[in-house]
Chains A and B, each alone.
Chain A
Amino acid sequence: MTAANPTVEARPLSGRSWRRWTQRHGWTVGIWILLVVLVVWYSTLIPRFGGFQFSTIINGGTAWIFLAAAQAVVVIAGGLDLGVGGLLVLTSATAAQFMDGQPFAISIVLAVVILIGAAILNGFVGWIVTVSRVPDIVVTLGSLFIYQGLALMMLPKVGGGSSDGFRWLFTGSATGIGTNPWPAIVMITVPIAVAARWMGRTPSGLSLYAVGSDETAAFLSGVNAARVKIVSYAVGGAFVAMAGFSTLAIAGVGNATTEGSSLTLNSVAAIVLGGVLFTGGVGSLIAVVPAALILFFFNPILSALGVNPNQAQVIQGILIVFVMMVASLIEWRRRRRS
């Protein structure tokens, strides 16, 4: 990567370092600015923009953010997890099955157990990827099916439930609808910040980037590449469990018939917009969060503009293609110049 270029390090010219800074963080800053602009624009579009609208966006976006974060961790480490959508359905169905009618304290204990279980389960998928050397896209295609089937076994009919306190944790109210966005903001910020710091500042987190950008080089410099990949899938699984909890908290009941594959597709679109490269080793959770929110936020904006949901989907698709075309053309020109 460009960061390793010694001439840039040796001569800290202001012009050079500015260019380097924009190259490294430009996408992150840009995507946050885009989010703020969209929120401000949205607030002028609708007659009343207050706590209710704000918390609706945050609450609804929580699952999208966690799912995108899960995908980002795996892709940065050089993998791809098509199973995330299925695991979301499985975790929320399992939580709905066991939390129904339980007091708050028990539901928290159950949540922790399910979260650890999801991490172990997805870590096992990562283990299969590393041991079998079958392409990750194939293995996780299989895990998508398996998760979806297990979810149906766990909760054959729409139903189950959770405790009031549990719903408050993710939505700011016991009914799932409210004007208090703060619990959801905390629930998003704390895990994402911890994970982002882990990935950006600690050796074990940075090894994700090392393995993602060049597995052989990472292995030769002493990184246990197989373990890093398994860890990335496990961390992904834990994030997916959070997304599953949020889904349950908003709906109030579990639904194992939700199509997991379309949720996976959302997560893939979100990390693309968030600047994570499929080749691995590039990207940041800090940029994925606003990207996921923007994708979720699209529908309310377009419906405020009077566009119906179907057209909104068309516009969303065209925009993703457009962003990707521009991004790959920029990349292509940069490669030609160097």
Chain B
Amino acid sequence: MNEISSTAPPEEATDEPLSIKLSIARQLSDRPQIVLIAVLVALIVVTAIIEPNYLSLAGLRNSAFFAVPIGVLAAGQTILMLTAGIDLSIAMIATASAYIAANQSPNGAAIAIILGLLFGIVAGTANGIGVGIFRVNPLIMTLATSGILLGLFTGWATTIFAGSTRMHDFIITLGRGTFLDGNVPWSVVVWIGVSIFVLLLLRRTGYGRNLYALGDNPIAARLSGTRAWQVLVVAYAISGLLGAVAGLLMGGRIGAADLQLAGFLLLPSVAAAVIGGTSIFGGVGTYTGTILGALILGVLQSLLTFLGAGQAVQQVLYGTIVVGLSWMYSRLAAAS
């Protein structure tokens, strides 16, 4: 990549193929979504070749069921990674919110959902206070929150939550129900709602611009009047809220709250944001990319299931894809 960037400019006028190659690389780095869509389509095609039945609404539905919770969790990761943060507690917040919602389910769906989401906001705000006001490293802060919640809910699971882990029917419908002859899951509708909210937040609001500014250059952001701690507390609260949404969807899909509900989604949620081109150092990234990242992971899951790949192969492939795609990104960024 160094070679191209250092030797290319003088040759650009004379060497036709190289300049075309360069302009393609520039195009791709300007619109990384093109690469992602290509990868996604390629994965779908490969999956369809291996299992022709996959190219039906029912086949794609299974991928969607896997992609939705990752996509919602990755929305939180995207928002925080824009500020150069990360939320390692988001999966545990999801699990905890599911417990709260299940516990409150006898009181009706509305109360269960509201209290579940409220818990997510409170836990996220705690993260935000630690990171934004006390300047604790986000990795440590959210790790500790995750540990605290795990301890609390492991204890409570056998005491105050014992026997009250069944989700309200409405939440179960949201989690695993479908409409249009059972072809479109309700959870996809929830994800679309979340996506519109996050996309508008990042693109159309001053707050969204503050997130980018803070991650890109915190000093410049401060000097131009951004109050970093307020932006951060709100960002972590939103991440907690999104964690809770994912927790309710997962709880609804399983039908009950469970300590192992969402933990396995933590690393995929980070991976989806990274695959989508969001920089872990802040300031760079879009939720569109993250959505594509989540979809890629969803299709990949179906592909690996059809291949009959065991968990071992899945994990190795998963890791390779995360490293490979992000390597490709940095090459593209360097070439432009």
Contacts and interface: CB of A to CB of B under 8 A. Distances in A.
Q: Is the interface of A mostly helix, strand, loop or mixed?
A: helix
Interface string A143-156: 11111111111001
Nearest to B280: A135
B207 to A, nearest CB: 25
A175 interface: no
Nearest to B130: A321
Contact of A313 (B151, B310, B319, B334): B151
Contact of B312 (A141, A156, A315): A156
A261 B267 contact: yes
B13 interface: no
Contacts of A23: none
B86 to A, nearest CB: 8
B323 A325 contact: no
B245 to A, nearest CB: 23
Interface string A100-144: 000000000000000000000000000010001111011101111
B270 A141 contact: yes
Most buried by B among A138, A156, A261, A312: A138
A68 B312 CA distance: 26
Contact of A318 (B88, B148, B315, B322): B148
Given A139-B323, A145-B267, A317-B148, A324 B316 contact: no
Contacts of B320: 142, 146
B154 to A, nearest CB: 4
A132 B327 contact: yes
Given A156-B312, A311-B151, A321 B280 contact: no
A311 B155 contact: yes
Contact of B137 (A153, A156, A278, A316): A278
Interface string B1-21: 000000000000000000000
B95 interface: no
A265 B326 contact: no
Interface residues of B, number: 48
Nearest to A155: B312
A272 B139 CA distance: 11
Most buried by B among A268, A316, A317, A320: A317
B114 interface: no
Most buried by A among B145, B150, B151, B155: B151
B140 A142 contact: no
Contacts, number: 149
Contact of A150 (B139, B150, B266, B312): B312
A139 B140 CA distance: 19
Contacts of B274: 138, 141
B136 A328 contact: yes
A134 B311 contact: no
Interface residues of A, number: 45
A139 to B, nearest CB: 6
A142 B134 contact: no
Contacts of A147: 319
B327 to A, nearest CB: 4
A269 B280 contact: no
A146 B139 contact: no
B161 interface: no
A145 B316 contact: yes
Contacts of B310: 152, 156
B267 A320 contact: no
B315 A324 contact: no
B270 A321 contact: no
B155 A310 contact: yes
A320 B140 contact: yes
B170 interface: no
A324 B154 contact: no
B143 interface: yes
Nearest to A332: B135
A302 to B, nearest CB: 11
28 contacts: A128-B323, A132-B331, A133-B334, A135-B281, A138-B274, A138-B323, A139-B323, A141-B319, A142-B319, A142-B320, A143-B319, A149-B316, A152-B310, A153-B312, A153-B316, A265-B147, A310-B151, A310-B152, A310-B155, A311-B151, A313-B150, A314-B148, A314-B155, A318-B148, A320-B147, A321-B144, A324-B140, A332-B135
